[in-house]
Amino acid sequence: MCRLFGMTTGGPRVRATFWLLDAPDSLRSQSRRMPDGTGLGWFSLGGEPVRDRAPVAAFQDADFNSEARHVVSHTFISHVRYASTGAPDVHNSHPFVMDDRLFAHNGVVRGVDVLDSWLTDVDRAPIQGQTDSEFVFAYITAEIRRQGDTASGLIAAVRRIAAELPIFALNILLAESGRLWALRYPDTHELWVIAPHLTEPGAERHLGAGREQGQVKVARHRESTPACVLASERLDDDPGWRLLDPGELLVLDGMEASSVFPFDAPAHPLTAADLSGAESTSQA
């Protein structure tokens, strides 16, 4: 199963080194089981999305390891890939960029040909690969343009996909400069979140040396700063991790968090028995 990672501080620019490289179950560690691609996305000082990706495992990717140690941003999206549709190729590696947004997906959506028929030539133009994920993002982007609002467009797109296409899982991270959306849909795969303001009061903490719960180090002046972290699996043994509920869309505007549940169950759910060999292996 592909793995997602997202992090935002709501403003201060930080490094994500601990989570990407040094945590007990870091993204680099997970990539030993997810060998088909890696990518890291962030936002520049001007608010533009930047990403670097390659069709190799993160633990083998020198650029990923260097950027994880040195890039500073207020928001990160990262992904390690186990291919289900589309060969291991740089254009099939996440995260994707469209209209100044970063996007990564975990799961399987069937009916790429139908998705393609929903797109205009303008909507289709940014697509470079063959994955269901990139077509889903193109359709979400098209709906955002039509709705004139990111949340409304994302919800409209997922509702139509869920109503008309076979879905095994549609876990999503979508980021703009200053805002991040995380969706767990339906309940097939997990998606976890940890943040100081989302931790249940009184939770006992057993943390690695030198790290406060929900805190990362600001690159400029080395002060601890609150951060919200999202991941397909818990990256350490901090008890503050919370599993998103099935169908939960978590919205982070800066560090203000809210959740909505705007989706019905998929009309055409796929089970593990419905998956092809490649899909089944990638989703295990």
Query: DSSP characters for 114-179?
Result: HHHHT--HHHHTT--S--HHHHHHHHHHHHHHHHTSHHHHHHHHHHHHHHHS-EEEEEEEEEETTE
pLDDT in tens, 37-55: 789 999 999 999 999 987 7
User: Can you name the residues that pair with 280 across neighbouring β-strands?
Assistant: none
pLDDT in the model for residue 87: 62
How many CA atoms, within 13 angstroms, populate the side-chain half-sphere of residue 152?
6
Average pLDDT rounded to a whole number, residues 201-228: 49
CA distance 2 to 25: 14
Lowest mean pLDDT among 22-36, 70-84, 218-232: 218-232
55 is written with which tokens? 């069709």
Distances, alpha carbon 153 to alpha carbons 57, 96, 137, 138, in Å: 32, 17, 11, 11
Concatenate the DSSP letters of all residues of 12-33 into one string: --B--HIIIIISTT-HHHHTTT
Predicted TM-score (pTM) of the model is: 0.88
Q: Answer whether residue 149 shows pLDDT above 80.
A: yes
Lowest mean pLDDT among 18-27, 80-89, 182-191, 244-253: 80-89
Q: Answer whether residue 223 shows pLDDT above 70.
A: no
pLDDT in the model for residue 205: 33
Q: How confident is the model at residue 132 (pLDDT cuts 50, 70, 90)?
A: very high
Instruction: Tell the residue number behind the tokens 């890291």, with chain if given.
Output: 40
pLDDT in the model for residue 279: 61
Q: Answer whether residue 217 shows pLDDT above 60.
A: no
Order of all β-strands in the sheet with 37-43: 49-54, 37-43, 75-81, 3-8, 228-231, 192-194, 242-243
pLDDT in the model for residue 31: 76
Average pLDDT rounded to a whole number, residues 75-104: 83
How many other CB atoms sit within 10 Å of the CB of residue 283?
20
Closest CA to 173 of 252, 66, 236, 100: 252
Q: How confident is the model at residue 2 (pLDDT cuts 50, 70, 90)?
A: confident
pLDDT in the model for residue 277: 63
